[in-house]
Structure 1
Amino acid sequence: MFRPLEVFIGLRYTRAKRRNHFISFISLVSILGIAVGVTALITVISVMNGFDRELKQRILGMVSHATIEGVDETVRDWPEAVKLAYANPHVQGAAPYVERQAMLQGVRVSGAIVRGVVPDLEPKVSDIDQRMVQGKLTDLVAGQFGIVLGKELAMTLGVGVGDKVTVFAPEFSATPIGAIPRTKRFTVVGLFEAGMQEYDSGLAVMQMQDAQTLYRLDGPTGIRVKLDDMFRAFAVGRELAQDLAGRLGAGYYRVTDWMQGHSNFFKAVAMEKKVMFLILSLIVAVAAFNLVSTLVMLVQDKQADIAILRTLGQSPASVMGTFMVQGVLVGSLGIALGVLFGVLLASNLPAIIRWVEQTFHVAFLSPDVYYISELPSELHWEDVIWITVTAFVFCTLATLYPARRAAKTEPAAALRYE
């Protein structure tokens, strides 16, 4: 079988038994270092992907992909608006809502966001019905003034299911004794736990008609939609806003998507992922540049062989290619082992962590402290490819200096004392 001379000699040097066993030891250390670095990089990036996925699931479980709000405070003829939304091929669900701020009083007082929803339509745009820990979302009946609280908000107020909560709306009524805020007594009919403090401690849900009565509105303040592709949220939302303005009139509509309201979360995760990639890439780079010392010693050990090859007519470029083949082969072996162990570890990390916790009776992410109590991991093959390419580039760069040094070997000087 035909093989280039550089590949043949490079592979021969790799398989040959060397007189200097220290070179073999350094090569082994280089392989293991690269493998450990690549494994760590794949695992950590997969964990960051897992946290990103958990954040998105928990946030999108409580908010919709896109929100269309009426500039004129309310959306007129909301059933027609919902029908218009469903006419868009990317829309999978649509539901009206009312959202305002309020002060809630139980045993204690706390501020919260009040969201009025239609219980039958809300599951089409959020997962709040699946986050209920007590009661059901369908317990919200128009005219009965029931309210569903986040679990931590209920603890702050000191109330539970069946208790009464007074809602103070920032709407004032003129009376003989002066202006007083509008108030209404609500009955707690359920509790939910979203796993995000923003919602568990600051959101109260009621029937939309009850919210309209409390805030003196003649319709919902907006339409929330769920799409087939959440990354198209803003573009699709803008199309829907234009359709609503054209068909229903009533001025313009403001569009917000799920990332605008929670951009800090995702920017922080994306930045941390990039920083971790850079830091762990340095570990791979240090391991890869161990190849420099390995190949430098190998070049020194093979001075006579290089001189003989040069006298037989091998060009300096060919000599350089010979040692680059050996360095790249050692690096590729380390990368292959790192990818193998990294993929296996990242794919099975949650199960491994659970086994360690059960065996040694420890808790890495205590549910009493953290909302995400299990270490998430999500392997993306595009990340594995990027890591593999990066490690290969480091290994290739590490071979350049020793290979050039071998190419500059003078045959006469190398054979003078042989």
Structure 2
Amino acid sequence: MKTQQPNCKKFLFVSRWGETLDVINTIKQEGHDVKMFIEDKASKEIGYGFVSKVTQWEKHIDWADIIVFDYTGYGKIASELRAAGKLVIGGTEYTDNLELDRNFGQAELQKHKIKVIPSKEFTSFGDAIKYIETYPNTYVVKPCGETQELKQLLFVGSDDEGLDAIRVLKAYEKSWGNDFGNFQLQRKVKGVEVSIAAFFNGNEFIYPINITFEHKKLFPKELGVSTGEMGTSMFWTKDSPIFEATLLKFQNTLAKHNFIGHIDINCIVNGHGIYPLEFTSRFGYPQIHIQRAGINEPMGEFFLKLAQKKQFKINVKKGFQVGAFIVVPPFPYEDKKTFNLFSKDAVVVFKKNGKEGVHPMHLKKVNDEWLITGNTGIAVLVTGIGNTMKDAQKMMYNRISNVIINNGYYRTDIGDRWTEDSDKLWSWGLL
């Protein structure tokens, strides 16, 4: 039910893929005036029926009280708009480069006196194969630039000699040729993978910070291809040794560049130290939606305070939040024929009334029905909260059992790693 607020503001969301629909819809329901633009052609239908859509966002700059850019690549225009006096949440050219140029990101970590895992960038598959043959080890193959959006191309090796990485590089050479672009070989380090995330108000980090554990593989027990994300567990904390050793060291630099938004650094940690892997200098998906489940204040007000450079503490729930995607074919691949055959316009059905904790992703609304659109097959994100990880999981899976999506699939173990991961983190003094 939309309740008009006396302090109603005009929000313009500039979205790359339509991933922020749930947040936009929430801000609309809080009583604000909202318009949404989606850049990606195949994703244009996302949000129809939920929120007001525009085809040229630039025409609405003067209309907007606040502009939100939800992806990297908009840093230059976001900075120009801020300089012109607009309230803007979004990156800068500097923070775009942290994420999009892996070499730059690694160099900046070193510049800020943060230990990094050895890595080397290549433009030729042959050179990379020779390198592995010369320096046999376990390697991770990481695409750079635009190709890194195709998460299934990220390969994490397990062979001590790097033979599996060589096989993958040969396969990429056959299928991609010269279109693959630059890529990195990074030594694989064993440990717990954890992300440290925080909101930044242009001057400093806003507390509490967010500790996130991502589940990237398609199947339970970390089997199958990398998908970018199948689900995440998280909690909020006022301090963290991992945050102090990584993101906090960037506070002055981010302030110098007038960054306003969300930034995340993904790390592998073990008994020997903390090793940052990469930056995400924008909202994370599904991270922002699971964070929303743990934030007690209205999202519109929260975004406004952030854009206005206010100093405040985020009012968050204690305990844990978890979220799992329900996806449909051809996810995690792009295959228009399969999508059209199995998934396009499929209805999201609720057994019982109540959509609490079910966040629309690549959907449109027709006659009050939620229909799947876009082209990648991410239908909904379902969240749960609780004082313990088990409580949060139970709530989430109960909510999932209320959702029927034809051909839908999801992971049944989101949050299960917490027991083992937390034991390790405690023993290393990192929690």
Structure (1 or 2) with the larger CA radius of gyration = 1
Assess same fold via TM > 0.5. Answer: no
TM-score, normalised via structure 2 length: 0.20
TM-score, normalised via structure 1 length: 0.20
Q: Which has the higher contact order (CA 8 A, sep 6+)?
A: 1
Q: Which has the higher helix share?
A: 1
